[in-house]
Amino acid sequence: MKPFPLLMKFILERSAKLFSKQEIVDRSFRYTYYDAYKRMCKLANAIKDLGVEEGDRVATLAWNTHRHFELYWTVPCMGAVLHAVNVRLHPNQIVHIINHAEDEILFLDDDFLPLVECLIDKLKTIKAYVVMADEEKKLRTALKPAYWYEALLEGSSSDFKWPYLDENSPATLCYTTGTTGDPKGVCFSHRMLFLHTLITALPEALSINRYDIVLHIVPMFHVHSWGIPYVATMVGAKQVFPSRFDIEAIMELIQREKVTVTAAVPTVYIMMLNHPRADEYDLSSLRLAFSGGAPTSPGLIKAFREKFGVQLITSYGLTEACPILTKAHLKPHMLNWPPEAKDAFYSKTGLPLPCLDLRVVDEMGREVSCDNKSIGEVIVKGPYVALGYYKDPDKTAESWDEEGHLHTGDMAVVDEEGYITIVDRRKDVIKSGGEIIPSVLIDKIIEQHPAVAYCATIAMPNEKWGERPLACVTLKPEYKGKVMEKDIFEFCKDKLPKWQIPDAVLFLEEIPMTSTGKKDKKLLRAKNVWMALSTVSKS
């Protein structure tokens, strides 16, 4: 007999039954797991009536709402494939990925009507548009055929039998943000999503339980909102959706709903800290706040703890990994350490989650020494890590080796305790005279200078050394014109070995950012920004 298939419907059905009275909040709207489940059944019937069959792709362009949550469960459980489109991509990229995915239906928040109306001629596969708005009157649109989400549900039966699929059936399709080229698609099966949900729910990982109140800050168009809506549903936690991103609304929701767990990129926590009315909000109900998607500094962790009494913990993931791979929690013997010593560990990339085969390896594939110095690339294989890109054998061959390890392109060190710290992207590493200089390390140090807002260090060509570091710096408004290259050199002198100090500093008005808020070093390099320097090399 075939093993019991790992299908998302088994998680959903149990939660609908056991936690039927548990609450789901979407700004001022409230309903229960029971209500949501009934609407998911109606939604499944409605989507089926639109002609969607098993394996067909269903796209969304939406914020973090209860309707998006309904789609999160309904589309995979009915056997279709959920493609949550990153609304922050360039319109051309949005067109590219919807066509590449061959999406059949597009569910969109009314916020995105103007955007999609401009793209309509280029979207080749969409057969129907479903607009998610509170009121029907917002539905004046050139899109055809267009339906109102609430009307579709209204007209559908709440009886639906979720199919008994093969566990390797596709459940979701996520695209990378295209930091390094066109977005690439990653398809996750029911089995992978199920295992990601189980493993990230462990006390070793998100550790969310039924007593928690979870606020979904990570956009639902970013790799399953880090999988948190699935975990929260499985354990029966109360869930809070903030709709479109608004830092004040988020702080208000944390206070009003007594949120206990959330996750976000560091930028969001920095926005909370720097908010002019930060003192007016009580965020102390938060017992866990995960920070990921970009390095989280010990300084941010300290400031957040001191201001709000909330512990930030770093987590790390990748689109290709569903996404969570590590968590930076402490080992038992560290629990009594002083706060600063703890922060140093909370800000690391962390320890690999259970069941993963995650290693940091040199160019020969050997694991690097656990000395917190030797730099290698993070490679990983595991129950929920993709084995290739969607319809893209060439890119697959570039990133996966013969043994099935994904080469992440993230360069890292490992300490004696096994904690990993990512020090750079492989493509951003500077190779100077045969030695590796991690650009992120230089960024971190220069960003400690009181005048510096951001620093993005990149490689510039050098005849003698191959490459040498160039620091691209933006200054805080009050320091503009008051800080010179020599001040930066002086600042670095006792903080970096001489050969790692940048050869030049370029003061820019702005550092280009990707759609997920990361420094776009690729663009800086592509622009040959060093041509703007009067002296290209001092070495």
For a second copy, the binding residues (CB under 8 A) are: 1, 3-4, 6, 10-11, 13-15, 17-19, 22, 168, 189, 191-192, 194-195, 198-199, 201-204, 207-211, 234-236, 238, 329, 331-332, 335, 351-352, 354-357, 381-383, 385, 387-388, 404, 417-418
Nearest to a second copy of 46, 259 (CB atom) = 259
Nearest to a second copy of 339, 517 (CB atom) = 339
Cα 308 from Cα 410, distance rounded (Å): 32
User: What's the min distance (Å) between Cβ of 391 and a second copy?
Assistant: 15
Do the beta carbons of residue 185 and residue 392 sit within 8 Å?
yes
User: What's the min distance (Å) between Cβ of 197 and a second copy?
Assistant: 9
Distances (CA, A) of 395 to 85, 184, 222, 264: 20, 8, 21, 29
Cα 313 from Cα 324, distance rounded (Å): 13
Do the beta carbons of residue 7 and residue 165 sit within 8 Å?
yes
Nearest to a second copy of 194, 221 (CB atom) = 194
Nearest to a second copy of 194, 269 (CB atom) = 194
Nearest to a second copy of 201, 492 (CB atom) = 201
Cα 229 from Cα 172, distance rounded (Å): 14
User: What's the min distance (Å) between Cβ of 466 and a second copy?
Assistant: 35
Both tokens of 303, joined, read 């400031």
Phi, psi of 327 (to 5 degrees): -145, 140
Nearest to a second copy of 83, 327 (CB atom) = 327
User: What's the min distance (Å) between Cβ of 375 and a second copy?
Assistant: 19
Cα 475 from Cα 483, distance rounded (Å): 8
Q: Parallel, antiparallel, or unpaired for β 23-26 and 238-241?
A: parallel
User: What's the min distance (Å) between Cβ of 64 and a second copy?
Assistant: 23
Nearest to a second copy of 33, 129 (CB atom) = 33
User: What's the min distance (Å) between Cβ of 400 and a second copy?
Assistant: 9
CA torsion sign for 169, 75, 41, 126 is: negative
Write down the number of H helices and E strands in the chain: 16, 25
Both tokens of 390, joined, read 């969607």
User: What's the min distance (Å) between Cβ of 7 and a second copy?
Assistant: 9
Residue 403 β-bridge partners? none
Closest CA to 133 of 62, 57, 45: 62
What is the separation, in whole angstroms, between the first and last Cα of the chain?
70
Nearest to a second copy of 387, 451 (CB atom) = 387
User: What's the min distance (Å) between Cβ of 26 and a second copy?
Assistant: 20
CA torsion sign for 363, 364, 368, 369 is: negative
